[in-house]
Amino acid sequence: MTSFKPWLLAAALGVWAAPALANLNVFATVPEWGALVEELGGDKVKVYTATNALQDPHHVEAKPSLIARARGADLVVATGAELEIGWLPLVTQQAGNPKVQAGKPGYFEAAPLVPMVEKPTRLDRAEGDVHPLGNPHIQTDPRNIARVAGPLSARLAELDPASAAYYQVRYKDFAARWNAAIARWEREATPLRGVAVLVQHASLEPKPSVEPTIAHLSEVLETVKRQPVKMVIRAAYQSDRASQWIAERAKINVVVLPFTVGGDDAAKDLFGLFDDTVQRLLKGAQ
């Protein structure tokens, strides 16, 4: 006589536990949008993020692995504003997936949903890495995350109408928690108002994305001596050479910000990203 095996009964009754399959495969270009899709989509989405926080999102290689992921995606979520111009069009074109081409419902850009800042008055590539549509790093303002969340949730519902109510519930929950968090961050960051800082990308580089020379940094140092600052800020993915040079000589703090989700151990999700950013800035201002 064969001994009883519980799994045989489970299989016979159709209750064998199989892993749940996501309704939508999402290709996010950068970590902030991958994290936002997970907040809004829950177990209805499977998210692949093409870059990590320690990569410069401007300069990404269109590898076969990225093309393969885009080929199987139902939705591509990108920043736009030419942030991914050097690699994403090639990835989507090579993928041959008609659902995720620009202009299709399976292609979503965040930048058109927010007010863009730092639009150049003159376009000249001799001025360095200039963004004609404005600064594409829109995730550094939590209010922009809120502006993107509603339309992105609606797009998930459009692509997966059977789960529309689910996405709506998750969006409302996220929006309530996010708006409360913004109010808290604004209160916590009050001591930072008016604090003078140097920003590596804007203050230390002679032109955007151009590595500063010692001669240029020396000029910045002379300016700092006349107009003191509290700290120099850089993103986690940036080299520390310039910020360390100026900090040691000006006797100011270096503050490394996570910049996006995953930029440090505390920035595990969108809430952690801004919790950690505010606390690092407050510490740097002391």
* Per-residue pLDDT reduced to its tens digit, 91-115: 999 999 999 999 999 999 999 999 9
- Per the prediction, the chain carries an average pLDDT of 91
Q: Lowest-pLDDT range, 16-20, 119-123, 208-212?
A: 16-20
What are the structure tokens assigned to 57, written together? 């999102």
Say whether 45 sits in a helix, a strand or coil.
strand
Percent of the chain past pLDDT 70, that is, above it, reads 89
133-142, 148-157, 210-219 — which one is most confidently predicted on average?
148-157
Query: What structural domains and CATH numbers belong to the chain?
Result: 24-187 (3.40.50.1980), 190-284 (3.40.50.1980)
| Contact of 87 with 60, CB cutoff 8 Å | yes
3-state secondary structure 198-246: EEHHHHHCCCCCCCCCHHHHHHHHHHHHHCCCCEEEEECCCCCHHHHHH
Distance CA 140, CA 142 (A): 6
Helices 31-41 and 270-284, packing angle to 10 deg: 130
Question: What pTM, to 2 d.p., does this model score?
Answer: 0.89
Predicted confidence band at 124 (pLDDT cuts at 50, 70, 90)?
A: low
| Contact of 30 with 49, CB cutoff 8 Å | yes
Predicted confidence band at 20 (pLDDT cuts at 50, 70, 90)?
A: low
Q: Lowest-pLDDT range, 15-19, 27-31, 95-99, 113-117?
A: 15-19
Pick left, alpha or beta for residue 194 (phi over 0 → left; psi -120 to 50 → alpha; otherwise beta). Answer: left
What average pLDDT does this structure show over 42-69?
A: 96
pLDDT per residue over 189-213, tens digit each?
Answer: 999 999 999 999 889 998 877 889 9
Residue 168's pLDDT is 98
Nearest to 71 by CA among 97, 105, 100, 108: 97
Nearest to 224 by CA among 255, 250, 200: 250
Q: Lowest-pLDDT range, 99-113, 115-129, 130-144, 258-272?
A: 115-129
What are the structure tokens assigned to 131, written together? 């963004």
DSSP state of 136: -
pLDDT at 262 over 80: yes
Residue 279's pLDDT is 98
Nearest to 36 by CA among 150, 180, 160: 150
pLDDT at 125 over 60: no
Residue 130's pLDDT is 63
Residue 2's pLDDT is 47
pLDDT at 12 over 60: no
Residue 231, strand partner residues = 197, 253
How far separated are the first and last CA of the chain, in Å rounded? 77
Contacts of 141 (CB under 8 A, 6+ apart): 114
What are the structure tokens assigned to 169, written together? 């519930």
Say whether 81 sits in a helix, a strand or coil.
coil
Predicted confidence band at 118 (pLDDT cuts at 50, 70, 90)?
A: confident
Nearest to 182 by CA among 135, 137, 141: 141
